């Protein structure tokens, strides 16, 4: 039985646009926000349904129809860094076209977060989780990092499915006023962010590129004590989104 289940998993795994959800929380959010979940494997089906009943009763019915129990050995062969909740799933990510349609829709009611050439998978996941929590329109990244990498999905707790997440070239940013976080910018406390803003953040080490800085409609700085090198990327994004949200009261 396990062999058949694993073979079926491997077939779906190779399909374009299919991503790995590692752990209960990414699976929960994919189900809750309309993700097309194709396969769910667990080492203990009863424990998984009990966990869902405790933390996410709204997904129990769907999960009950999807979850298949296999040995932990087989699970670890499919996901070597198996999450402590002991469940993995395969889901279809929204298409590039669908995400770009959401990101490009005008007027926008919430900002788009722009991450220029991010390097740390966990940081990108944390930013996507923040964006979903604050109700941002989405997150776009530039550079080589895949924002739908399994580690990013794990870091976001699967909240990719609650907001639009896409990788674009710098020349393909959605339309809208571009607010770039930069130490030489104007104090963020003096600048309300419009709903259709692009809030752009560079790397912790190098900041934003000269090209992105030159394109900015406004450079914005977050106050910081002298001698402190930088804030963590996710912390900076949280401050930017909280500042936007505070201006809507």
pLDDT digits (tens, 9 = 90+) for 83-118: 999 999 999 999 999 999 999 998 999 999 999 999
Q: Is the peptide bond before 150 cis (omega within 30 degrees of 0)?
A: no
Q: Where are the domains of the chain?
A: 2-92, 96-246
pLDDT at 82 over 90: no
Please report, for residues 70, 133, 139, the alpha-carbon distance to residue 47 in angstroms, rounded to integers and kept in the order given: 13, 28, 34
| Percent of the chain at pLDDT exceeding 90 | 85
Tokens of 128: 């996507």
Question: Position of tokens 């394109």?
Answer: 215
Residue 90 CA neighbour count, 13 Å, CB half:
20
pLDDT at 224: 81
Domain 96-246 classified CATH 3.40.640.10?
Answer: no
Averaged pLDDT for residues 11-28: 96
Q: Give the pLDDT score at 159.
A: 98
Pair 135, 110: CB distance under 8 Å: yes
Whether this model's pTM surpasses 0.75? yes
Average pLDDT over residues 32-47: 96
* 17 in Cβ contact with 93 (< 8 Å): yes
pLDDT value at 131 more than 70: yes
Span 205-215, mean pLDDT? 88
Instruction: Give the confidence band of 153 by pLDDT, cuts at 50, 70, 90.
Output: very high
Local confidence band at 1 (pLDDT 50, 70, 90 cut-offs)? low
For domain 2-92, the CATH architecture is 2-Layer Sandwich (3.30)
> Cβ atoms within 10 A of the Cβ of 6, count?
18
pLDDT band at 81 (very low <50, low <70, confident <90, very high): confident
pLDDT band at 79 (very low <50, low <70, confident <90, very high): confident
Look at 12-21, 164-173, 224-233 and tell me which has the smallest mean pLDDT. 224-233
Task: Give the pLDDT score at 226.
Answer: 79
* pLDDT interval class at 249 (50, 70, 90): low
How many percent of the chain have pLDDT more than 70?
A: 98
E strand map for the chain: 18-22, 36-42, 67-69, 87-92, 112-115, 138-141, 164-167, 178-187, 198-201, 218-221
């Amino acid at each position: 039985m396990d062999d058949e289940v694993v073979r079926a998993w491997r077939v779906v795994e190779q399909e374009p646009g299919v991503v790995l959800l590692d752990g209960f929380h990414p699976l929960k959010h994919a189900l809750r926000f309309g993700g097309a979940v194709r396969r769910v494997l667990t080492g203990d089906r009863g424990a998984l349904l009990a966990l869902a009943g405790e933390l996410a009763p709204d997904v129990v019915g769907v999960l009950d129809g999807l979850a298949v129990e296999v040995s932990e050995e087989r699970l670890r062969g499919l996901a070597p860094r198996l999450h402590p909740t002991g469940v993995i799933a395969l889901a279809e990510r929204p298409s590039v076209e669908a995400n770009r349609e959401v990101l490009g829709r005008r007027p926008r009611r919430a900002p788009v977060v722009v991450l220029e050439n991010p390097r740390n998978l966990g940081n990108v996941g944390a930013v996507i989780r923040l964006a979903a929590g604050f109700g941002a329109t989405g997150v776009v990244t530039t550079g080589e990092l895949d924002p739908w990498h399994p580690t990013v999905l794990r870091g976001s707790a699967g909240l990719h499915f609650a907001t639009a997440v896409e990788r674009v070239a710098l020349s393909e940013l959605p339309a809208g006023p571009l607010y770039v976080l930069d130490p030489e910018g104007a104090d963020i406390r003096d600048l309300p962010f419009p709903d259709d803003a692009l809030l752009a953040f560079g790397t912790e080490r190098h900041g934003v590129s000269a090209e992105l800085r030159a394109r900015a409609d406004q450079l914005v700085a977050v106050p910081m004590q002298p001698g402190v090198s930088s804030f963590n990327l996710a912390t900076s994004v949280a401050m930017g989104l909280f500042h936007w949200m505070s201006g809507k009261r």
